[in-house]
Structure 1
C-alpha cells in the first residue's frame, strides 16, 4: 500500500515538473483524455459540473494548449492578432482596448497577440506578414481610412477581421465605431449653450475616416446654432504637442480668437490648454473647452473642461466578438456596432 502511494506521489510530482497536458488533467480528474479535451472545448454533450472541474484543474496546473499541435491537427492557430500603431498608446487607449478584447477572449480558446507598427511605415507590412505566415485566425485593425487597402487585402485573402472604425469603399465588413458625427454636433451645441459664438476645433488627421464624420457633425452644429468657425491651420491631434500648443497660442492671440474650443483627443487637449494659457486666456472664463477622452483624467486636472467619454474597453469587447463571429461564419452586417457619446463634467 505504501509502495503504491509513493508511486502515485512520484507520478504527481513528475507531472507537476513537466508541462501539463491533457493526459495530466485526465490523471488529476480521473476522467478520460477525450472527455477532458471536449470539456475544455465547451462541448454541449459534456455536463456543466464536469466542465467546471476540468477547467479548475487546468487553471491550477497552468495548462496551455500546445499551439503547434493544435495547428497541425486543425489548421488553426487560436490567435487573434491586434495590429496597433505604436502612436496609439495615448491616455490609456492601447491598454483599455487590450483589456476589452481580453475580457472576451478569456472565455474562448483564442489568445491575443499584439502586432505593433509605426504610422511612419507602410501599414500593409504587418498585414502581409500575418497573411503570408498564417500566424493568426483573425485580425483586428484600427485607424481606418475611407478606402483602406488593408480591408481590401484581408477580404481578398478571406481572413476574418474586424476594424476599429469604418470605411467607405463598398466592402461590407465587421466593425465597431464611435459616433464622431454626433460628438462634433453636440460639442458645438454645448459650447453654444455656454454663450460661445466663435468655435475652433482640433481635428483628426484628414486621411482617417473619422475626420469626415467629425467634420460633418461640427458643420451641422455650427449651422443649427448660428456659430462661426475659427480655423486652426496646419495641426491635428496627431501633430507634435509643441506644434499644437504654438498653433493654439497663435489663434488665441488673433483678433478673432475663438471663445469656444473643441479637441478630439484627450492627449492633444493638454497642448490645447497650454496654448490657451500661453496666450494669457483662462479656460472657463475667456474660452470654453470641450474635449473627447477615454479616461477621467481631464476632469480631475481641470474640472471646468466639458468632457465626452469614448469607452475604449467596450470597443475592445465589441471588436473581439465581431472577429470571432466572422470566424464562426456570421454575416458581416450582423457584426457592426456604433457607440454613442457619454458626456460628463465635474464643473
Structure 2
C-alpha cells in the first residue's frame, strides 16, 4: 500500500514572486492577471492561473484586506423558502462558475422565514465581510435595495423593483411568462388555476398580471390558489389542490410558478382520478430539465438561471471595481415557441 506523503515542514508558501519566477513575468503582471485585470491578455491570465494552481498558491485574505480594504468575497443572500432543488441550486452553481479563476470567492448566506430579510444585508454591510451582495426575490419597494444604495455598497439583484433606482440586475420576464402560459394552453381550456409566487414579490405580481390579462382576453376564468403560493411546501400545495379539484366548478388548467408547485399540483389533481393532458393541463417554468421526466404531458418553458448567475457575477465585479459595465441590466424574455410538452 502506498502511503500518503507527509507535509513538508519548513517549506514556504508560494507567493506572487514564486509565480513570477515560474512564468517569467513581472510580479505586477502576475498580480493583475490573478485579479482578472482587463488590460492583461486572456492567454497570460490562463498561464498565470494554471501556474498558481500547480504551485498551490493561495491568496492571504487577511493581508489583502489590510493592503486594499477588500475581502475578495461576494455574498449571495438567499431565502430558505426558495426552490432549492431546481432554481436556487442552478443560481448558486452559475455564480460560482462565473467567479472561478477570478480573485473573488462566493459565500452563501441564508435567511429564514421568521427572520427580517434586512438582517443578513445589514450584517454584511456593517461588518464589511464582503465586497458586494447578490440577492433575489426582490420586492416592489425593497428596503434592502434602498439600504445598499444609501450606503454606496455594491450589489446586484436577480429581479427588479419599482423603485426607479439604477443598479445591476438580471430578471426573467415573468409577465411575458404568465401571458404565454395562458396562450400555450389548448383552446378547449376555460378555467385557469394559478399557483403564483408570493404577491409581495415583484416577480409574483408580474406573473399574475400577465396570466390574468391573457385569460381575460381569451374569455377564460382566472383563479388564484389560496392560501398557498409557489414557495409553499409541496405537501401543503398538494392538499390544497386535491381539495379544490374535488369542488365545482373545477378548473381545467394550472399555471405553476415553480417546479415543486407543478409536481405537487399534478399529484393533487391525479388523486381525484383526473388525467394530465386529457382532463387538465399544467404549465410551468423550470431551471433544470426535470418536469418532462416527471410527467411528459406538462407544458414547460426553460428559465436560463445559468445565464442569470453569470450575468450577475460579471455585473457585480464591474460595480465593485468601479468599471463601467459591459451590460449592467438584463432581461430574459420567453417566446411562445419555447413552451413545449415532452410528448
CA shift, 1:44, in A, is: 6.8
CA distance in structure 2 between the aligned counterparts of 1:144 and 1:46, rounded to whole angstroms: 36
Partner residue in 1 for 2:34: 40
Cα offset, 1:291, TM superposition: 1.3
Deviates more, 1:307-316 or 1:236-245: 236-245
**Distance of aligned partners of 1:16 and 1:288 in 2 relative to their CA distance in 1, 3 Å threshold:** farther
The match for 1:79 among 43, 66, 73 is 73
**What are the residue-to-residue correspondences of 1:1-347 with 2, within 5 Å?**
17-29=11-23, 31-42=25-36, 51-191=45-185, 193-329=186-322, 335-341=328-334, 342-347=338-343
On the 8 A contact 1:183/1:217 being kept in 2, the answer is: yes
Distance across 1 between alignment mates of 2:222 and 2:44? 64
Please give the alpha-carbon distance, in whole angstroms, between the structure 2 residues aligned to 1:47 and 1:243. Answer: 54
Q: Distance in 2 between matches of 1:333 and 1:51?
A: 20
SS at match of 1:338: strand
1:277-303 Cα offsets, whole Å, 9 max, x none, are 122211111111111211111101110
Is the contact between residue 134 and residue 312 of structure 2 (CA under 8 Å) also seen in structure 1?
yes
Asked if structure 2 preserves the Cα contact closer than 8 Å seen for 1:91 and 1:294, the reply is: no
CA distance in 2, matches of 1:298, 1:44: 41
Residues 169-194 of structure 1 show CA distances to partners (whole Å, capped at 9, x for unaligned) of 23222111111001111111111x34
More helix as a share of residues: 1
Does the 8 A contact of 1:39 with 1:50 survive in 2?
Answer: yes
Per mean C-alpha deviation after superposition, the further-off stretch among 85-94 and 302-311 is 85-94
Contact 2:242 2:269 in 1 (8 A): yes
The DSSP-based 3-state class of the residue aligned with 1:82 is strand
The answer (yes or no) to whether the contact 1:15–1:24 under 8 Å persists in 2 is no
Question: CA offset at residue 199 of structure 1?
Answer: 1.1
Given the two structures, how large is their TM-score scaled by the length of structure 1? 0.89
- Residues 296 and 49 from structure 1, CA distance in 2 versus in 1: closer, same or farther, beyond 3 angstroms? closer
Please state how far the C-alpha of 1:37 moved relative to its aligned partner: 2.5
Which is worse superposed, 221-230 or 84-93?
A: 84-93
* CA radius of gyration, larger in: 1
Cα 1:38–1:175 change in 2 (3 A) is closer
RMSD between superposed Cα atoms in Å: 2.4
User: Does the CA-based 8 Å contact 2:231-2:258 persist in structure 1?
Assistant: no
Alpha-carbon distance, 1:216 to partner: 0.9
Q: Unpaired runs of 5+ in structure 1? A: 1-12
CA separation in 1, counterparts of 2:146 and 2:304? 28
- How many Å separate the matches in 2 of 1:100 and 1:46? 24
Greater mean alpha carbon deviation, residues 280-289 or residues 53-62: 53-62
* Corresponding residue SS for 1:171: coil
Q: Which residue of 2 aligns with 1:9?
A: none
Structure 2's unaligned 5+ residue stretches are 1-6
